[in-house]
Structure 1
Amino acid sequence: MRLATVASSPVRDLLALIDRPEVISFAGGLPAPELFDADGWRAAFGTALSGPSARRHLQYAPTEGDPRLRGQLADRMTARGLPTQAGDVLVTTGSQQGLTLVAAALLDPGATVVVEEPTYLAALQCFAMAGARIVTVPSDDDGVDPDALERVFARERPELVYLVPTFANPTGRTLAADRRARVAGLAERYGVWIVEDDPYGELRYRGDAIAPVAAYADRVIHLGSLSKIGAPGLRLGWVRTPAPLRASLVVAKQAADLHTSTIDQAAAAAYLAVADLDGHVRGLRVAYCERRDTMLRLLPEAMPAGTTWTDPDGGMFVWVRLPGDADTARLLPYALRQDVAFVPGAPFFAGRPDRATLRLSFSSSTPDEIAEGMRRLRAAVLSAGNGPQEGRQGAVEFGKLAASHLRQDLI
């Protein structure tokens, strides 16, 4: 059974274990629920269920998606520097499904996939489910290393390379513009498909926007989502489909679920027609920027000397590395006793993990909650320093608890 070799998501397992109101969680990459436009979405669903089209919006729909919504999404991508037509867009049940469809269309068992190290956990799960062989390539503060990537392309001849080039999960790093051009050129030269996963690209708090990798080459499959700028509960994403792959991706979508929810698509189209989504995104940027700045300001007080971390221009994550040969899985039980949570970094590595790393998400906590959470994290660090054996046992116990949760999804 292929699924028997796919590890459960430690993020989802951890979220299940810390579902207590007193816990301040830096673990999940969750949008802030208090910033959801509940009134706007309520009105949009009312519109979708009103008038002569109401019953049609409760019916089966085309696999490719609601034509009106596809056009609206194409217009948003075009405005971001990626010229797109409605016919290029395949609406999916979240961008995670888009990744699964790409794997189904392109990957036979044993096919080679290149990922940067570290990378998004659910992508590793997806490729493992497809039976792919995963090869890693190093990255630094400017994203994936193009020279190292070319060596991997020449040696491994992969089918595709997976990247989160803008405010990456888990590191928050952004692939520099000059590197985007080089990576796109390499893909063209070696005949490799790039999967550009872009759920965070509109959440920029500093600096100028950079064009998507898909703007530099035709061999790029661009994944988008309304989850981070709209509402994740809608599960609405899309794939910008290059013409040679369009038919295969549509067939994969048909086999997966026929089509994404008709009523949710209709409501999204109604929402995008009247709501000021750009204005809403500007509000998210202001709020999340303050939260990021609060976390970065307090990290020196919470972490031991010699700790390093990323300083992201946008997104939801800060990537932290403790000094020396620390193991953040051993720190986690102490943090949970202090009612604060984070994600140890090891599961984000497809190759040899750096166990001294951890991921902190700042998006779903207010500045005051972040300040209190960092105080608790400091207390956990101090406690762990005084009880390494207890911490090791705690990590083992957490691992047993996490293993009991077998859900395959991930944020």
Structure 2
Amino acid sequence: MSFAIPFADRLNNVETSAIRELFKLLGKPGIISFAGGFPDSAMFDVEGIREAANAALNEEPGAALQYGATEGYLPLREQLAAFMASKGAAEVAPEQLIVTTGSQQALDLLGKTLISPGDKVIVEGPTFLATIQCFKLYGAELISAPVDGNGVRTGELERLIEQHKPKFVYLIPTFGNPSGAMLSLERRQKVLEMAVRHDTLIVEDDPYGDLYFGDAPPPSLLALSATVPGSRDRLVHCGSLSKVLSPGLRVGWMVGPADLLAKATMCKQFSDAHTSTFAQATAAQYLKAGRMPATLARVRQVYAARAEAMVQALRSELGDAIDFVPPQGGLFVWARLTGADGRVADGAELARRAIDRGVAFVPGAPFFAADPDHATLRLSFATADEDRIREGIARLAQAL
């Protein structure tokens, strides 16, 4: 008789990611994948990162290879503060942020420090799948706030805040995953105002904000908080270098009130002691070298062309069978099947058919914490070139 491992009850709240399950099907030769949520490795500034790593070893080898402060490597914290200042958040001092192992760890630290079983947390519907799983792991009851092409609908969000009095509200205001939506300036101001009015903590997750295709997006909630008295004390900002520099570095950061950062730092000590000092020193040298603006200009140009190719292909190949808002940045097209002319109207069913045609994407239902819309789907344009995108969407049309 086999031994039954006594797993923690909290694991009953989560299940295996639908996206991870889908990736098991992608070994089929010739598959064109729009399923991934990661950047194109061809966009990585390998030479710049190599030079930064060498500089870290040449200038401060002891610090780069030794244990470090849990809060983060000070030269990197200084560079990240300057990076945010260049985007309008000029009031962030290095001691007001901690470095995390990717922004995913920031979410986990928020779960550990803020969520008790049964606490209510408001998220967007749809939102980042790993956020749903992370917060559920700590026992949160997730409330879903509806989203449109301009981001979370602030009228509905305020109603939900009044009704549920959540522990906090989690938003991805700029080119969200999976929605791709960009929260308008007017709505951003309303979010900060309602944070003060209802004494509610707002978490801003911002891994995609630098990946815009035309005009820069409105300032982050962090940058705007200077214009709404009292809002900064009720705001947490999570950032990441994963989508703009390299996911492999695992460098993210969290800005927040001092008492929250102190608790998060304590919990991080139990988890990994500190984010890799070598990765932090490399990232610090990269930012110090001033290569980031040119890197961002290049990836914006490439992703913008791929996004346009996908938008045009969807319109020409699928027509009225699909509805979507063209993305202004980020990595994703979020779409909804209309079922026009009796064609497929269920994202999961289309995903199964699409695999047989040699193309993959992620159905939208798992991205909802509640009341999933089964007609939705997420398509990533980041890792396929324009010709592969056109071919993949043609295959998708055949699966309808």
TM-score, length of structure 2 as denominator length? 0.92
In the aligned structure 2, how far is the partner of 1:43 from the partner of 1:57?
Answer: 14
What amino acid is the match of 2:241? L
Residue 383 of structure 2 corresponds to which residue in structure 1?
A: 364
Q: C-alpha displacement at 1:207, in angstroms?
A: 2.7
After TM superposition, the structure 1 = structure 2 runs for residues 69-108 of structure 1, keeping only pairs within 5 Å, are: 69-83=76-90, 84-108=92-116
Q: C-alpha displacement at 1:156, in angstroms?
A: 0.6
Residue 334 of structure 2 corresponds to which residue in structure 1?
A: 319
What amino acid is the match of 2:136? A
Q: 1:209 aligns with which of 208, 217, 238?
A: 217
Which whole-Å deviations, capped at 9, do the CAs of 1:223-272 have from their partners, x for residues lacking one? Answer: 00000110011111000122232211111211221100011111111221
Contact (CA 8 Å) 1:171, 1:310: kept in 2 or not? no
User: Are positions 1:13 and 2:4 aligned together?
Assistant: no
User: Are positions 1:239 and 2:291 aligned together?
Assistant: no
In the aligned structure 1, how far is the partner of 2:156 from the partner of 2:214?
Answer: 28
Which whole-Å deviations, capped at 9, do the CAs of 1:286-337 have from their partners, x for residues lacking one? Answer: 0000000000011023325342012111001111111148211111122111
What amino acid is the match of 2:203? V
What amino acid is the match of 1:376? R
User: Are positions 1:282 and 2:297 aligned together?
Assistant: yes
Distance 1:94 1:21, change over 3 A: farther
Superposition misfits of 4+ residues, deviation over 4 angstroms: none
Identity %, equivalent residues:
44
Residue 387 of structure 1 corresponds to which residue in structure 2?
A: none
Contact (CA 8 Å) 1:222, 1:241: kept in 2 or not? yes
Residue 127 of structure 2 corresponds to which residue in structure 1?
A: 119
SS of equivalent to 1:50: helix
Contact (CA 8 Å) 1:301, 1:378: kept in 2 or not? no
Q: 1:305 aligns with which of 309, 320, 326?
A: 320
What amino acid is the match of 1:91? V
Q: 1:266 aligns with which of 276, 281, 289?
A: 281
Q: C-alpha displacement at 1:275, in angstroms?
A: 4.2
In the aligned structure 2, how far is the partner of 1:63 from the partner of 1:24?
Answer: 41
In the aligned structure 2, how far is the partner of 1:48 from the partner of 1:140?
Answer: 44
Residue 173 of structure 1 corresponds to which residue in structure 2?
A: 181
Question: Which 5+ residue runs of structure 1 have no aligned equivalent?
Answer: 382-411
Contact (CA 8 Å) 1:111, 1:132: kept in 2 or not? yes
Contact (CA 8 Å) 1:172, 1:318: kept in 2 or not? yes
What amino acid is the match of 1:159? K
In the aligned structure 1, how far is the partner of 2:29 from the partner of 2:50?
Answer: 26
In the aligned structure 2, how far is the partner of 1:280 from the partner of 1:152?
Answer: 40
Q: 2:309 aligns with which of 291, 294, 303?
A: 294
Q: C-alpha displacement at 1:190, in angstroms?
A: 1.3
Contact (CA 8 Å) 1:40, 1:275: kept in 2 or not? no
Which whole-Å deviations, capped at 9, do the CAs of 1:18-56 have from their partners, x for residues lacking one? Answer: 1456211101111111111111112222222235x3133
Residue 228 of structure 2 corresponds to which residue in structure 1?
A: none
Contact (CA 8 Å) 2:174, 2:217: kept in 1 or not? no
Residue 6 of structure 2 corresponds to which residue in structure 1?
A: none
Which whole-Å deviations, capped at 9, do the CAs of 1:345-373 have from their partners, x for residues lacking one? Answer: 00011111111110000011111110111
User: Are positions 1:332 and 2:372 aligned together?
Assistant: no
What amino acid is the match of 1:41? I
Q: 1:352 aligns with which of 371, 387, 392?
A: 371
User: Are positions 1:156 and 2:171 aligned together?
Assistant: no
What amino acid is the match of 2:96? D
Residue 41 of structure 1 corresponds to which residue in structure 2?
A: 49
Q: 2:268 aligns with which of 253, 259, 265?
A: 253
User: Are positions 1:132 and 2:132 aligned together?
Assistant: no
Contact (CA 8 Å) 1:66, 1:265: kept in 2 or not? yes
Residue 11 of structure 2 corresponds to which residue in structure 1?
A: 3
Contact (CA 8 Å) 2:347, 2:377: kept in 1 or not? yes
What amino acid is the match of 2:318? M
In the aligned structure 2, how far is the partner of 1:232 from the partner of 1:300?
Answer: 32
In the aligned structure 1, how far is the partner of 2:103 from the partner of 2:153?
Answer: 25
In the aligned structure 2, how far is the partner of 1:273 from the partner of 1:136?
Answer: 40
SS of equivalent to 1:278: helix
Which whole-Å deviations, capped at 9, do the CAs of 1:109-158 have from their partners, x for residues lacking one? Answer: 11110011111111101110110111111121111111111111111111
What amino acid is the match of 1:320? A
In the aligned structure 2, how far is the partner of 1:231 from the partner of 1:60?
Answer: 22
In the aligned structure 2, how far is the partner of 1:62 from the partner of 1:20?
Answer: 45
In the aligned structure 1, how far is the partner of 2:117 from the partner of 2:352?
Answer: 38
In the aligned structure 1, how far is the partner of 2:319 from the partner of 2:297?
Answer: 35
Residue 393 of structure 1 corresponds to which residue in structure 2?
A: none
In the aligned structure 2, how far is the partner of 1:346 from the partner of 1:303?
Answer: 20
Q: C-alpha displacement at 1:344, in angstroms?
A: 0.3
SS of equivalent to 2:326: coil
After TM superposition, the structure 1 = structure 2 runs for residues 217-236 of structure 1, keeping only pairs within 5 Å, are: 217-218=231-232, 219-236=234-251
Contact (CA 8 Å) 1:164, 1:196: kept in 2 or not? yes
Q: 1:60 aligns with which of 62, 67, 70?
A: 67
After TM superposition, the structure 1 = structure 2 runs for residues 376-391 of structure 1, keeping only pairs within 5 Å, are: 376-381=395-400
